[in-house]
Amino acid sequence: MSRAKSEFDLVEFSATLDRVADALERLAPPAPAPPRFDAADAFVWHPEGRQLAPVARVNRVDMSLLKGIDRVRDVLVENTERFAHALPANNALLWGARGMGKSSLVKAAHAAVNAKLGDGPRRGRLKLVEIHREDIESLPELMALRRRSASWCSATTSPSMPRTRRTNRSKPCSKAASRAGPTT
């Protein structure tokens, strides 16, 4: 009789566990939609929803308008090209006061490298992702979405907004493009 009672308890316990698991699944937020990397060349990372929002038009200047930074520009573009072709590349740290052109250089290098990739199968392979300084701790989640990317963050610019309309959401931060993933 005690044997039948313990068998009944296991069946009841199993059914209870199934109901609890079903209830937890209903309460869990839906899984985020996978990013559509073909939607744009640039994205803004929103860690609260684990989403990459495509930026339709990146606010950038032509590389030829950036003056007095020829050596830095050449090193960054060469390194970014190596990264885009899955060759060994270095992390890049650009630093300086606000308004010195760090974001402009990164966005111009991104455009130049993507233009060199052309219309072949590699077209659009290099993506630009804006991540705000206060969201750095969510970087592993971002990298889980896409292993290969170039990343930048800025307090003064965003791909979608001109400088004058952007609020100062975070302090200035560094720029990075890395084969293993962005570091800032």
Q: Render pLDDT for 101-158 as a digit per residue (tens, 0 to 9).
A: 999 999 999 999 988 887 655 455 788 999 998 999 998 888 887 654 444 444 333 4
Q: Which residues contact 64 (CB under 8 A, 6 or more apart)?
A: none
Residues in a beta bridge with 75: none
Q: DSSP character for 134? A: G
pTM of the model: 0.62
Tokens at 12, concatenated: 């009841």
Parse the chain into domains and list their residue ranges: 1-30, 32-177
38-94 pLDDT tens trace? 888 899 999 988 888 999 899 999 999 999 999 999 999 999 999 988 899 988 889
Range scoring the smallest mean pLDDT among 32-36, 95-99, 115-119, 162-166 = 162-166
Alpha carbon 5 to its chain's center = 56
C-alpha distances (whole Å) from 16 to each of 5, 27, 28, 124, 158 are 16, 17, 18, 50, 50
What's the pLDDT at 175?
A: 35
Asked whether 74 and 66 are in contact (CB, 8 A), the reply is no
Asked whether 177 and 83 are in contact (CB, 8 A), the reply is yes
What's the pLDDT at 81?
A: 92
Distance CA 59, CA 81 (A): 21
Asked whether 131 and 151 are in contact (CB, 8 A), the reply is yes
Tokens at 63, concatenated: 């590389």
Task: Return the closest-CA partner of residue 178 out of 37, 50, 84.
Answer: 84
Asked whether 114 and 70 are in contact (CB, 8 A), the reply is no
What's the pLDDT at 108?
A: 95
Q: What is the largest CA-CA distance in the chain?
A: 90
Does residue 173 carry a pLDDT above 70?
no
Distance CA 41, CA 107 (A): 11
